[in-house]
Structure 1
Amino acid sequence: MQYRMKTHPLSEEQITKLLERSQTGSLATINTDGTPYVTPIHFVYYNNKIYAHGLPKGKKLDNIAHDQRVGFSVYEMNELLLDPNEKPCDTNTKYESIIISGNAKRVEDIQVKEDILKKVVEKYTPHLAGKELPAPMVKGTAVIEIDIMEMTGKYYS
């Protein structure tokens, strides 16, 4: 285990708060040749799962269809912690981060997709929450569900 995971772990409550407030994360999938492919995404954390939405076709969806194993991370840098003696190698960072390993799949159930897309609206455009989502838009939008197998968080301040 990494040193900072032992000394600076985020609690479950802190992890949840970071996932709820973070606007973007990075989704890592595996290309058919075995190389990693990382995509910045908007997401919601709901029912202990990560959900993302997007176009119905693309590389990340192709990769998930080929290999469901994914990684996901969120990182917030709050500030640089400069050394008072101005030693450049002693500069540090005040941050919080989360690393997730899991399995992803495309959500096919229309009602689940609509529920998740409503959560996306609540998070990113709360002033539009409660408005009806057009059925063709729900049907035509891809929703990815990440079943979390392992999740760790750490901080430094």
Structure 2
Amino acid sequence: MKDHPLSPEQIAHLLDTELVGRLATNGTDGCPYVTPVHFAVMDGTIYIHGLAAGEKLHNIRRDPMVGFEVDKMHSLIHHPDLPCDTNTAYESVIIRGRASVVQDTATVTRVLDAIVAKYTPQHAGKGYPPNMLKMTAVIAVDATSCTGKFYPA
């Protein structure tokens, strides 16, 4: 981390362009529960959408402390004659924070609009059927720490 930190601008770019993040919650059995998620960043907050029921929501309601990770692997770096001399060129962001389930309908709609714009821009500006909104939860992750690092190619 000390040798190859990402700048705040590089962190923002990675969060804006990568399509999959991983949300880690604390399971009731004491084990971490990690879920791949779609997400968008708005006003410095990570927003995640998903079903309105399930283990990650149960875990967040019980213990709001979470981890969130995004990475991009660029390439493998290896010595042609030494199998143990292998590394990876990558960028990653690790966030620790507090999660909450968003209750405000206007915020939920703004978040869904941002997620649609990121993942399926051809559907931007279309409405959301009420039954789909009932089945959808939006999670906000407010970062308490954020670090980014890279390893050059």
Give the TM interval when normalised to the shorter protein.
Answer: over 0.9
Note if 1:138 corresponds to 2:133: yes
Who is 1:65 aligned against?
61
* 8 A contact 2:93–2:148 mirrored in 1: yes
Does the alignment pair 1:113 with 2:108? Answer: yes
- Following superposition, the deviation at residue 139 of structure 1 comes to 3.7
What is the CA–CA distance in structure 2 between the aligned matches of 1:132 and 1:65, rounded to whole Å? 29
- Normalized per residue, which structure has more helix? 1
* Matches of 1:138 and 1:16, distance apart in 2: 28
State the AA in 1 paired with 2:108: K
**TM-score for both structures, normalised by structure 1:** 0.93
- After TM superposition, the structure 1 = structure 2 runs for residues 12-31 of structure 1, keeping only pairs within 5 Å, are 12-31=8-27
Aligned-residue CA RMSD in angstroms?
A: 1.1
Q: CA deviation at 1:130?
A: 1.4
Q: How does 1:1-157 map to 2 (within 5 A)?
A: 5-84=1-80, 86-157=81-152
Which digits, 9 at most, give the CA deviation of each residue in 1:103-123, with x for residues without a partner? 000000000000000001000
Determine the C-alpha separation between the residues in 1 that align with 2:83 and 2:43: 43
Q: Which runs of 5+ in 1 are unaligned?
A: none
Q: How far 1:33 sits from its partner (Å)?
A: 2.7
Letter of the 2:48 partner, please give it. A
Q: Post-superposition shift, 1:140?
A: 3.1
Give the TM-score of the pair, scaled to structure 2: 0.95
Quote how far apart the aligned CAs of 1:89 are.
1.5
Quote the offset at 1:46 in angstroms: 1.3
How many percent identity over aligned positions?
A: 52
State the SS of the aligned residue for 2:79.
coil
Supply the distance in 2 between the matched residues of 1:134 and 1:47 (Cα, whole angstroms). Answer: 26
Q: Aligned partner of 2:127: which letter? A: E
Q: Which has the higher strand share?
A: 2
Cα displacement (A) at 1:45: 1.3
Q: Which runs of 5+ in 2 are unaligned?
A: none
Distance of 1:141 and 1:39 partners within structure 2: 16
Q: Which residue type is aligned with residue 114 of structure 2?
A: K
